[in-house]
A and B are shown apart, each in its own frame.
Chain A
């Protein structure tokens, strides 16, 4: 059973702070990793994808991947109240035709 684990939170940070979200996965052969944001009652929306070890930056977001430790993280700099949502880590299977999602981390950014 392939597992993707996240701390459910809530993670509470003040506006302007850095939010750090973490994810571990069990399938060592996974190659593609995604962070989605999900507002309550809405569908998942892609934030970032990462495929290689190291950091990938896109605006206020930085994804980090460590395949040896089977660990993916997402940093959100200058957090805004509008960032308050549940962040889902998703891992693709080896064939690349399905995503396994973690349970999500609920982020609350307080003004």
Chain B
């Protein structure tokens, strides 16, 4: 069964450093998403991406964040200058379409900012 994959599974970085989280969505899916979950808190939407541009973004997704689909398979989330409060689990998801289409989640990248 096709699945969303994410790398790395864990990332430790120093405050102020740049990190890139990588995702390979399900191959025939057209919509891609990033969510985050701070330990013990809700899953929060960050951004959705369709046709090589941002479709929707939340207030969390400020200028420190960017997304890119550098090739036909990868979808990346970049955090330019990490802060302590960026420590969270970051989930990539993809869907065949929007609306009623299910979003399938990857296993997540646990980011720890020291």
Contact = CB atoms under 8 A, between A and B. Distances in A.
A20 interface: no
B99 A104 contact: no
B43 A44 contact: yes
B44 A97 contact: no
Interface residues of B, number: 26
A42 B107 contact: yes
A88 B100 contact: no
Contacts of A92: 99-100
Contacts of A88: 43
Contact of A44 (B45, B48, B105): B105
A42 B18 CA distance: 25
Contacts of B91: 43-44
A98 B99 contact: no
A68 B8 CA distance: 43
A109 B43 CA distance: 23
A95 B54 CA distance: 13
Given A43-B105, A46-B102, A96-B100, A102 B56 contact: no
20 contacts: A31-B100, A36-B105, A42-B108, A43-B106, A45-B105, A46-B102, A46-B104, A90-B43, A95-B56, A96-B98, A96-B99, A96-B100, A97-B50, A97-B56, A99-B35, A99-B103, A101-B42, A101-B45, A102-B42, A103-B42
Given A96-B100, A99-B103, 8 more contacts: A32-B99, A34-B103, A49-B100, A49-B102, A90-B43, A92-B100, A97-B56, A98-B33
Interface of A: 31-32, 34, 36, 42-46, 49, 51, 88, 90, 92-93, 95-104
